[in-house]
């Protein structure tokens, strides 16, 4: 499965590391790191279609599905 959420389009980002040195104000030699999205495998039941769907979605997408409903959210993302 992909490393991008199909609902929120969250994926990996390249970000800088943080140094705890006091003098690291301008020059910070810690380098770059790839930050991964918080993706979870979830089985979602859609009562309007009377079926379940297995998805790998972000935690924010799970909260969106809980708030707006599975059918409305998945239809907006063109997954059904």
pLDDT on residue 43: 96
Distance between CA atoms of 2 and 5, rounded to whole angstroms? Answer: 8
**Domains defined for the chain, CATH in brackets:** 13-76 (2.30.170)
List strand residue ranges (DSSP E) for 1-80, in order.
13-16, 32-35, 39-46, 51-58
Q: pLDDT truncated to tens, each residue of the chain (80 aa)? A: 578 999 999 999 998 777 666 565 666 667 788 999 999 999 999 999 999 999 999 999 999 999 999 999 999 999 88
pLDDT on residue 45: 96
pTM of the model: 0.77
> Which residues touch 63 (CB under 8 Å, ≥6 apart)?
none
Distance between CA atoms of 56 and 72, rounded to whole angstroms? Answer: 18
């Amino acid at each position: 499965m992909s490393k991008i959420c199909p609902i929120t389009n969250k994926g990996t980002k390249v970000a800088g590391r943080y140094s705890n040195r006091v003098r690291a104000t301008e020059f910070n030699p810690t380098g770059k790191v790839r930050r991964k999205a918080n993706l979870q495998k979830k089985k979602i039941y859609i009562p309007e279609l009377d079926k379940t769907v297995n998805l790998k979605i972000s935690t924010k997408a799970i909260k969106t599905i809980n708030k707006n409903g599975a059918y409305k959210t998945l239809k907006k993302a063109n997954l059904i």
